Structure 1
Amino acid sequence: MIPVPHLPEVHLPPPWSARATRLGRHSQELWTTGQPGGVRIQLERCAVGRFRDAYPVGLHDIEIRADDLADHALGEMLTVLTAALGAADPRCRRLVLAAPAADGPRIAAAETAGFRQVVDVDLGSAELTLLTWEPAWVTRCDPDLDRVPGA
């Protein structure tokens, strides 16, 4: 079995801050400020999380769960997190955010931060749309990410 790397420590730029309230080898719960009252964000390596069998997972892929964050603030928080996680783990190929399959406003908010819809998954307990953000060094390899070869 290939070992899954630890999650990196996350440092957000001012006026944002993040304090770990739960730290594990492959998952973290952060209390972030920068929004009124703060908000809880969860990070988890996809290779050991709920999506490990949902798509071809990379060892450095990270799921972002921001379920408590209102849609109007989601885009800004994801923009801040993508920069921070990209700097903390330069080998990360994909950040993943799940939204309820029919949640148009949440999907649109994630798209403002550079996420794109990739696949719908049924986890048994929920039907979700997976949205991903990839750094430029990944998307440079295949600029036509929405085209299925041979289709």
Structure 2
Amino acid sequence: MLTVPPLPTLDAPHGWRTTMVAGTRFTARFHLRGPGTDTDAEVERCAAGRLRDTYPVSAHDVEVRVASGALGSLPSEALRMLTKAVWKADPRCRRIVCAAPDGDLNTLAQAEAAGFRHVVDVDLADEQFRLLVAEPEWVTGGDRRLDHVPQT
């Protein structure tokens, strides 16, 4: 059984302001205000949310989404800021996930501009998504050559 930790409080970097609007143990809605951005965004522990059965989820993985509208409406700078705030608040977070609806090229482009990369396509009930992830350096810094056997 996976034990899911509660979400930590997010501190915005200089020039940004996050105000918690609503929240539960595993989900929080923030009002984001910063350069060119004045919107609500949500963060949710993947293991407790809609993505829990779509990939090998870690207890500390977090999904980021816009409270109303497509994630593509969130400027990439705001998505980058949220990513940094989540990693600062939870150093054990291995993946920050964005779910782009199939065919939503704007969300895909915004997430990629914010440093996310596409990893898998998934089906949820009656929707299809492309999952994009951002991972910290301590996750991606290792040897990724799958065909390389160490010390050979």
Q: Give 1:39 shift.
A: 0.5
Distance, in Å, in 2 between the alignment partners of 1:27 and 1:71 is 20
Tell me the residue number matched to 2:39.
39
* Alpha-carbon distance in 2 for matches of 1:139, 1:31: 30
- Could you tell me how far apart the structure 1 residues matched to 2:83 and 2:147 are? 26
* 2:38 maps to 1:24: no
Corresponding residue number in structure 2 for 1:68: 69
Residue of structure 1 in register with 2:80 after alignment: 79
Query: How far apart in 2 are the matches of 1:143 and 1:4?
Result: 28
Q: Report the TM-score when normalising by structure 2.
A: 0.87
Q: Aligned-pair RMSD on alpha carbons?
A: 2.2
Listed as ranges, the gaps of 5+ residues in structure 1 are: none
Distance verdict in 2 for CA 1:37–1:135, change over 3 Å: closer
The one-character-per-residue Cα deviations of 1:71-128 (angstroms, maximum 9, x if unpaired) are 3643111111111111110000000001111111210111111100011111022111
Count matched residues.
147
Q: Deviations over 1:15-59 (max 9, x none)?
A: 211111112111101111115572110110000100100000000
Give the match for residue 11 of structure 1.
11
| More deviation, 97-106/62-71 | 62-71
Contact 1:39 1:68 in 2 (8 A): no
27-36 or 102-111, which moves further after superposition?
27-36
CA distance in 2, matches of 1:89, 1:2: 17
> Is 2:44–2:63's contact at 8 Å kept on the other side of the alignment?
yes
Structure 1 vs Structure 2: percent identity of aligned residues?
42
Cα distance change on mapping 1:37 and 1:120 into 2, 3 Å: closer
Q: Which of structure 1's runs of 4+ aligned residues deviate more than 6 A?
A: none
What is the TM-score of this pair, normalised by structure 1? 0.88
Is the Cα contact below 8 Å between 2:37 and 2:78 reproduced in 1? Answer: no
**Structure 2 vs 1, CA of residues 81 and 8 (structure 1 numbering), >3 Å: closer, same or farther?**
same
Q: Which residue of 2 aligns with 1:123?
A: 124
CA contact (8 A) 2:29 2:41 kept: yes
Measured in 1, the distance between the counterparts of 2:37 and 2:64 equals 20
Ranges in structure 2 where 5+ consecutive residues have no aligned partner? none
